[in-house]
Structures are given as C-alpha cells and as structure tokens.
Amino acid sequence: MPSFSGQGLGCFRGGRLVFANLSFALQPGNALVLRGPNGSGKSTLLRLMAGLIQPLEGRIQWSDSDAGITDDPDLHYGRTHYVGHADAVKPVLTVTENVAFWARLRSPQSDVAGAIDKLGIAPLADVPGQFLSAGQKRRVNLARILAVPANLWLLDEPATALDVDAIAALCDAIAEHRAAGGMVVASTHQNLALTDHAVLHLSDYITEDPALV
C-alpha cells in the first residue's frame, strides 16, 4: 500500500503566507489530526492535500508515483475522499439518490445502502434532502465517502453538527478504514476518539511574512 507525504510546503492565500516549510508523512493505517487557531491554515492544508489548490512551494506525493498530486490528478482523486464545510446535499434528491450519485461517479460497484446504514440514517433513506437537519446532511456527506473505498480520507471538521451517536459511528468508520490500511487527515476542535494518532500544530508554522515591504 502506498504512503502519502508532503515536504517543505508553503501556501500563499488571500495575499498572505499562511504557513511555510511544513512537512508531514502518513503510512497506511495512520491518522493525523490538525490543530490550530482560526486562520492558521487547517482548511488550507486539507485543500492542498486534496489537490484543490497548489502549494506555493514544496510538493505532496504518493510513495508509488514520481509525480506530485496535481501533476497526476486522476490517480490522486481516485484515491482520495475530501469532506469540506459544505455538504453538497441536493434538496430535491432523496438521501439514497444523493449518496448514489457520488458513488456512481467513482465506481459501478458501491455499497450505498451499507454506508447509509453505518451512519444511522437508514430510516431516512427515502427522505428528500430539504427535510434534513444540519447533522443529518453531514451524515449523508460522510456516507458518500463510505460507499466507495479510497486510501485517504481528508476530513475538515467532520464532527461539526454531529451528535454523540453520530460521532461514535464516525469514529467506528474511521477505525475500520484504518484497520484496512486507510489513512485519515482530520482537522477538528472536538475530540474524535481516534487511537494513537499524530498531531500537527499549525501554529508552529505561522510565519512572519518576509517579503512584503
């Protein structure tokens, strides 16, 4: 199984250097939790890892590929699930249809019903998205990543709006994913009960911007 790492990352967003000289490495089964105050770049780092934005310097890559992730995006996108702040739940599609759409884009074989069941929203399977609460929408979004397996999960504040039961279900899903050799990077304020995870404090990488005069 390939590992995932980034070296010497610097990122420039909204006219300022968010962090510089940041490195990380993930082996199969590893989990990395990002911590830091608002604006320290947790979301930016996750978007960088997802391949949504490009680093100003440094590179992110898979151990079995010579190319950086943005040079070989299809390989990277196929291996990665990203959960951002927005849940992408369509109000007129049912829970099943919402999850199945994303699953079908990735693979003809997917376990939509199983994913919905794992997150405890099976009773809502036929309910259109417009009737769901924020926490339920978040669970639909998480069911999307359970339906088709991928090596790496990038979770931006995944526990937002989730109740205790749902957080437990999420932790179980993460544990199962890691047991199968998957990797997780999550930013979170709450304590997800993850076992033996590494922590990256982004406030260690905040830089005085050197070049702006």
Partner 1 sequence: MIHRFANPTRFVRLADVIQPWAAGMTFLFFVTGLYFGLFASPADYQQGETVRIMYIHVPAAWMALFCYTAMAAACGTALIWKHPLADLAARATAPIGACFTLLALVTGSLWGQPMWGTWWVWDARLTSVLILFFLYLGYMALNNAFDDAERGFKASAILALVGFVNVPIIKFSVDWWNTLHQPASVLKAGGPAIHASMLTPLILMALAFKAYYLWVLLIRMRGEINAMKVRALRMRQVQQADMADKVAAGKVG
Partner 2 sequence: MSSFITILSRDLKLAYRQGMDSVMVVMFFVIAVVLFPFGVGPEANILARIAAGVIWVAALLASMLSLERLFDADYEDGSLEILILQPITLEIAVAAKVTAHWLTTGLPLIIAAPVLAILLNLPADGFAVLISALALGTPSLSLIGAIGAALILGARRGGVLLSLLVLPLYIPVLIFGVSAVDAGLGGFPFKSHLLALGGLLLATLALCPWVSASALRQALRS
Here's the x/- map for partner 2, 39-78, by CB under 8 A: it reads as -----------xxxxx-------------------xx-xx
Which residue's structure tokens are 């007129």? Answer: 92
Contact between 16 and partner 1 by CB under 8 A: the answer reads yes
Contact between 82 and partner 2 by CB under 8 A: the answer reads yes
Which of 15, 210 has the CB closer to partner 2? 15
Which of 62, 102 has the CB closer to partner 2? 102
Contact between 71 and partner 1 by CB under 8 A: the answer reads no
Side-by-side strand order, sheet with 80-83: 80-83, 152-156, 183-187, 31-35, 198-201
Whole-angstrom distance, CA of residue 60 vs CA of residue 11: 12
- The residues in 164-203 that bind partner 1, with binding defined as CB under 8 A, are 201, 203
Least distance in Å: CB of 141 to partner 1? 25
Angle, vertex CA 170, rays to CA 118 and CA 179, nearest 5: 90
Q: Which stretch binds partner 1 (CB under 8 A): 32-40, 89-97, 120-128, 169-177?
A: 32-40
Q: What, of partner 2, partner 1, none, does residue 203 touch, CB below 5 to 8 Å by kind?
A: partner 1
Whole-angstrom distance, CA of residue 89 vs CA of residue 95: 8
181: left (phi over 0), alpha (psi -120 to 50) or beta: left
Q: From start to end of 73-127, where are the E strands?
A: 80-83
Whole-angstrom distance, CA of residue 165 vs CA of residue 58: 39
Give the N- to C-terminal CA distance of the chain in Å, as an integer: 46
Which of 8, 73 has the CB closer to partner 1? 8
- The residues in 124-153 that bind partner 2, with binding defined as CB under 8 A, are 144
Options 39, 104, 168, 197; binder of partner 2; rule CB under 8 A:
104
Which residue's structure tokens are 């989990």? Answer: 31
Which of 63, 203 has the CB closer to partner 1? 203
Contact between 35 and partner 1 by CB under 8 A: the answer reads yes
